[in-house]
Every structure is written in C-alpha cells, then in structure tokens.
Amino acid sequence: ANFSDQVVESFPSDISTGIYYGWACVGNGDVHKMVLSVGWNPLYKNIKKSVETHIIHTFKDDFYGEILSIVIIGYIRSEKNFSSLGALISAIQEDIEEAKRQLDLPEHLKLKEDNFFHLPEG
C-alpha cells in the first residue's frame, strides 16, 4: 500500500530513509503487522521519495480508497541499493521476518490494541 505524494510530503522531514516495522489497519478492520519502506527505492531509480507499506496479511479484496492507519514502532535498517531484483526480494523477506519477531514482543503487541486504530463512525 503506497501513500500518496501529499501524505509522503507531510511526513517529518528528518525521518531517516530505510525500513521500519509496526502496525497497520485498513479502515476499521483488523490490525496487522507491517513493514514500511521510506525512501527513494534506488533499484528503481525513483526521483520522488515514497512511503510504501507492506501489510503482513493476505486480503481477499483490494482496498483502494480506504483509510490506511499505521503506527511505526521501530527501525530495521537503512535504505540501500541492490544488484538485482532477487537480492531485493531476499532482503524484503528478511525484513518481514525481523518485523514479525519484534512485533511479537509484549511491549509491541500491546500497541496493536491502541484506540488510534478505531476510526470514528462516518
């Protein structure tokens, strides 16, 4: 799930590029583990900074137009370039496994239940 340019531009300017982990919720649905990439995606030579959320869950349907709420809990690694798509995919899988380990810690699990994820009706 990619955030719009407007949302990316509203992120704190001093946030480091790299890979983060935390919790994500689509609309008023369940809260799931996520990995977040903030940066330029050097392999693809992007000219605009992007913020891309990988929710660690398989959804039945797409969720275009829904509100995506995230809480960033921790930092995994800095952004880097990769020599191939295969190397990038391997790093993403390692990032996902690290996020799962971190988010299973009691101090991180409790944040999954935060009221932040409950949108007001309407």
Distance of CA 59 to the CA centre of its chain: 16
d(CA 92, CA 88): 6
* Spatial separation of the C-alpha atoms in residues 48 and 5, rounded to whole Å: 9
**Would you say the C-alpha torsion 79, 57, 74, 50 has a positive or negative sign?**
positive
Tokens 């330029």, located at residue: 40
- Which residue in 9, 52, 94, 121 is the catalytic one? 52
- Tell me, yes or no, if 121 is annotated catalytic: no
Residues classed as catalytic: 52
